[in-house]
Amino acid sequence: MAIDYLPLLILVIIAIGFGAIAVIGPSLLGPSRQNKQKLEPYESGMIPFADARRRFPIKYYMVAMLFLLFDIEVLFLYPWAVTLRELRWQAFAPMGFFLILLVFGFLYEWKKGALRWED
Amino acid sequence: MDWLNLVILPAIRVIIMIFVLLTGAAYLTWYERKLISRFQIRYGPNRAGIYGLLQPAADGIKAIFKEEIIPNHVDKVIYLMGPALALIPAIVIWAVIPIAKETPAIADVNIGFLWILAIAGVESYGLILAGWSSNNNYSLLGALRSSAQMISYELPMGVFLASVLMLAGSFSLVELVQNPRPWWEWIWLWAMFPFFFICILAETNRAPFDLPETENELVAGYQTEYGGMKFSLFMIAEYINMITTSTIMATIFFGGWKLPFGILQNVVILGPFVLLAKVLVLLFLFVWVRASIGRPRYDQLMSFTWKFLLPLSLVYMFITALLTIQFK
């Protein structure tokens, strides 16, 4: 029933309101004595020499990509896992085939060095 | 009448829940500091109130009345959204967790697990947006690290949860606790608990996997440019996440609000206290690990999940599928 989900909606709305108040509210309460040093980027007391918007290792991108692939496969697992009791071997066989393909893909990426962090 | 039942009562429940969670998070800091100091043979907070029990209140008041600084170089809107986006999912995820017999915290829907997984996926946005918008080298690196770590450990955790779903045969957490389980199922689940706990430690960015906030290299990671209440919101979110994940683990592995062997099964009022006791023990585990184990290197952290936990979780799920077909 859709009406069962109404409390979830109420919860989300109240939580968002609470988050907004918690972020904005304290700035009305505290003192405000700002100067140039306070508003500079923190770099352990050094004078910041460059913007942080620059290139960073591609490894993070790689991890995100592999995660996307695997996470979508994991999503397929949930409905399968819940109905396995009723469908038994009938559901096990196709998912087994799918998982074998997945494992081969995983081994391939492993051998290709996609999981190697240090180079 | 309908209006009252549909909107006002749930809203009151939500507000009570938020209040309980915030108090819980505040007192968890006290619990942790007290325990950590005992591990290190010192007293910990003991000045504000007896046993330092007023310390969380003092900290809270201090954080609220701090000067709010928004540095010049940040992306203001996203910078302000960061802490809120970390806190909101931490609260929202609580809706479906059962706290007493047939009583979930907010809504009795039959998609409990999906809700938890979906909201857990949103949690990393707050951190990465905070780190990116801060426009600070420390923040950026911390955010990259924490998001890479969180998504990597989400995979084995997801596959482990799929195995739990298989044994439960339902998406509902209420049913998961309510349905009786055979003895082999308990043993099989407990065999997985240590690995699941490791995933949870990495998911919540707790020690020994707090590499995003390694003080000596990244200062405070994605939180570096935040101060006052905005910094506290990240802390509150982290501590609420600890409570949440402990409760989820207590629900999945240790029978939630139930006492073992069906003792006092019909005393509904006992449920929350039993659950609280289990959660406190699991939180003790978090602190114990933090006090005892040093951080791994980042490459060790990543290869541990991709090369060990993920294959292990797939094998575990395969065997669980065979067990389910055979015995259920």
Q: A2-111 in CATH: which number?
A: 1.20.58.1610
- Asked if residue A75 lies in contact with residue B117, where contact means CB atoms within 8 angstroms, the answer is no
Dihedral sign, CA of B239, B244, B246, B247? positive
User: Higher-confidence residue: B302 or A116?
Assistant: B302
Segments making up each domain of chain A, as ranges: 2-111
pLDDT at B281: 92
pLDDT at B284: 92
- Whether B192 is covered by a domain: the verdict is yes
- Residue B156 above 80 pLDDT? yes
- Residues of chain B in contact with residue A33, where contact means CB-CB under 8 angstroms, are 67
State the nearest Cα–Cα gap between B21 and chain A, in angstroms. Answer: 12
- Asked if residue B111 lies in contact with residue A4, where contact means CB atoms within 8 angstroms, the answer is no
- Whether B227 is covered by a domain: the verdict is yes
pTM, two decimals, is 0.87
- Residues of chain A in contact with residue B224, where contact means CB-CB under 8 angstroms, are 42
- Whether B3 is covered by a domain: the verdict is no
Put simply, whether B78 touches A (Cβ < 8 Å) is: no
pLDDT at B145: 84
pLDDT in tens, B112-137: 888 888 888 888 888 888 888 888 87
pLDDT at B105: 67
ipTM above 0.95, yes or no: no
Of A33, A81, A106, which has the smallest distance from its Cβ to B67's Cβ? A33
User: How many CB atoms lie under 10 A from the CB of residue B23?
Assistant: 13
- Residues of chain B in contact with residue A16, where contact means CB-CB under 8 angstroms, are 84, 88
- Whether B166 is covered by a domain: the verdict is yes
pLDDT in tens, A6-21: 888 888 888 888 888 8
- Residues of chain A in contact with residue B6, where contact means CB-CB under 8 angstroms, are 3, 6
Mean pLDDT of chain B: 83
Of B95, B144, B165, which has the smallest distance from its Cβ to A60's Cβ? B144
Q: How many domains are contained in chain B?
A: 1
pLDDT at A81: 84
pLDDT at B180: 76
Region A81-104 average pLDDT: 84
Question: What is the span of the domain harbouring residue B126?
Answer: 69-327
pLDDT at A94: 85
Put simply, whether B222 touches A (Cβ < 8 Å) is: no
- Asked if residue B322 lies in contact with residue B188, where contact means CB atoms within 8 angstroms, the answer is no
- Residue B257 above 80 pLDDT? no
Provide the percentage of residues in chain A whose pLDDT is more than 70. 92
- Asked if residue B29 lies in contact with residue B59, where contact means CB atoms within 8 angstroms, the answer is yes
User: How many CB atoms lie under 10 A from the CB of residue A39?
Assistant: 13
User: Higher-confidence residue: B259 or B129?
Assistant: B129
